[in-house]
Structure 1
C-alpha cells in the first residue's frame, strides 16, 4: 500500500480513505492529495473546444462561434496587430465556482501547497507539448511581495520544470478588478530579458487562468518580437 499516503485533502481537509483491495496491495499507488469529492468537482475540459483558446463549445451558440473558433478568438485573429501572436492556448479545467475558490485560496490567500494538486496533469501536458522554454507570466515586484510567490511559477516548479524568467511586469491594478474591455485594451505591461536565448525557440507561456487572452497575447507579442519561433500557452483554467 502507498507509504506516501496523504492523510488529509489539501482542499477541504477531510480525511482521505485509501482504497483497500488487491490492486492497492500489489501496485504502487500515486500519492493521494485530494479526496474523491473535491476531485469530482474539478471539471476537466473535454469534447469540442475552440482550436485557439480551448473554450468548450458545447454550450456556445452558433452566432458566437466561427466553425471551430470562438467569437473572441475570431476577433483577435481579425486584428492585424494580433493575428497569429498566440498560436494556441491549452487549458486543463473549466473555471467553475469550485475551482474559483481553490484558485482564490492558492493565489490570494497564499496556500502554496495547492500547486501540488495540479502537478501531475501539468507534467503530462508539458511533456506532450515539448517546448524549448517554459515562461511563467510574471507578477510585478509589488504583487510578488504581497503574495509571497508567483502562482504560475509555482505550478511549473511543482510539476518538476524550471521556470525561464524571460519577462518582468510593470506594476498595475489587479487584473481581477478590471472590466473585460479594460483587460482587452491593456497597454503593454511586460518587458523581455535575455533576448538572445529566445531566437528560434518554441515557448510555452504558463498562467493560472485564461480570461480574455489579453495578458497572454501581450506577453507572446514581446517574445516573438525578441526572436521566439512560436508562442503557445498553458493555463490551469479557462
Structure 2
C-alpha cells in the first residue's frame, strides 16, 4: 500500500513486519523526514529525560540535571512528580512539525508518532493516563487538544479528569514566569486515591505544568504520578 509522507507529501510504501505475515506497520513519514526525528537515547536525567551526554558537568548532579535537583530541593515540589520520560529531542524539525500540528490545525500529523507512543505505553503500568488539558478558550482556538489527539491516534483511551483555567500561552512566558505561576488545574470529581497516574503532554520544558497537575493529583490521594511527553525541550 502506498501513502504520502505527512510532512513533505512524498510517496511512501508501507513496510511489512515480521510479527505477522498479514501485518503491515504504517509508515507516515518518508525516510528523509523520519531521519530528522531524534529519539532520546543514551544517558539521560532520571527525573526529566534530558540528555546528560551534551550537558557540562556543572549542570549535572549525580544522575539528574541541575533543574531536577533544584525542584527536589524545594519542599513544595519534592517528590510531586516521580519522573518524566520524553521520547524525542525537541530539535528544529520537530519544533516546526509540532507547530503545524498544534497551531495550524493539522490534526492528522499526530499519526506520525502513533506507533512510538503505543509501543512505549504497552511497557508501562498505570491505572489512569491523563492528557494535560487546554482551557476552554485555548481549545476553541485550536479545535482540538494536541495531547489527547496523540493518545487517540495511538489507540490509547485517556481519562479526562483534569480541567484547566485560562491563562496566557506558555510559549509567551519567560522561564521565571512559568515557575512562578499559580495552580491552573482543577480535578473533576473522581477517586484517585491509591492510584498510579500517568500524565501525558506534547513537550516538557521547565516541568512546571506537569508538576502542577501532579501536585493536585497527589493532594487528592494519588499514590504516584509520573509523566510521558513526546519531546524534551
Question: TM class by shorter-chain length?
Answer: over 0.9
Q: Which residue of 2 aligns with 1:15?
A: 11
The secondary structure found in structure 2 opposite 1:41 is coil
Displacement of 1:185 = 1.2
TM norm structure 2: 0.95
Alpha-carbon contact 2:197-2:224 (below 8 Å) kept: yes
- Write the distance in 2 (CA, Å) between the matches of 1:87 and 1:62: 23
Q: Where does 1:86-165 land on structure 2 (aligned, <5 Å)?
A: 86-165=81-160
Tell me which protein shows more helix as a share of its residues.
1
Query: Which of 169, 175, 194 is 1:174 aligned to?
Result: 169
Q: Tell me whether 228-237 or 187-196 shows the greater mean CA deviation.
A: 187-196
Q: Which residue of 2 aligns with 1:208?
A: 202
Unpaired runs of at least 5, structure 1: none
Q: Which residue of 1 aligns with 2:226?
A: 232
Q: Which residue of 1 aligns with 2:77?
A: 82
Over 6 Å off, 4+ runs:
none
- Write the distance in 2 (CA, Å) between the matches of 1:230 and 1:18: 39
Query: Which of 194, 211, 216 is 1:217 aligned to?
Result: 211
The secondary structure found in structure 2 opposite 1:124 is helix
The secondary structure found in structure 1 opposite 2:138 is helix
TM norm structure 1: 0.93
Displacement of 1:150 = 0.3
Alpha-carbon contact 2:131-2:147 (below 8 Å) kept: yes
- Write the distance in 2 (CA, Å) between the matches of 1:124 and 1:28: 15
**Pair 19,204 (structure 1): closer, same or farther in 2 beyond 3 Å:** closer
Tell me which protein shows more strand as a share of its residues.
2
**Pair 191,16 (structure 1): closer, same or farther in 2 beyond 3 Å:** same
The secondary structure found in structure 1 opposite 2:76 is coil
The secondary structure found in structure 2 opposite 1:206 is strand
- Residue correspondences, number: 229
The secondary structure found in structure 2 opposite 1:16 is strand
Deviations 1:57-83 (A, max 9, x none): 011011111011000000000000000
RMSD: 1.5
**Pair 184,45 (structure 1): closer, same or farther in 2 beyond 3 Å:** same
Alpha-carbon contact 2:44-2:51 (below 8 Å) kept: yes
Alpha-carbon contact 2:2-2:13 (below 8 Å) kept: no
**Pair 177,157 (structure 1): closer, same or farther in 2 beyond 3 Å:** same
Displacement of 1:29 = 2.9
Alpha-carbon contact 2:47-2:84 (below 8 Å) kept: yes
- Write the distance in 2 (CA, Å) between the matches of 1:28 and 1:175: 41
Alpha-carbon contact 1:140-1:169 (below 8 Å) kept: yes
- Write the distance in 2 (CA, Å) between the matches of 1:154 and 1:17: 24
Alpha-carbon contact 1:6-1:32 (below 8 Å) kept: no
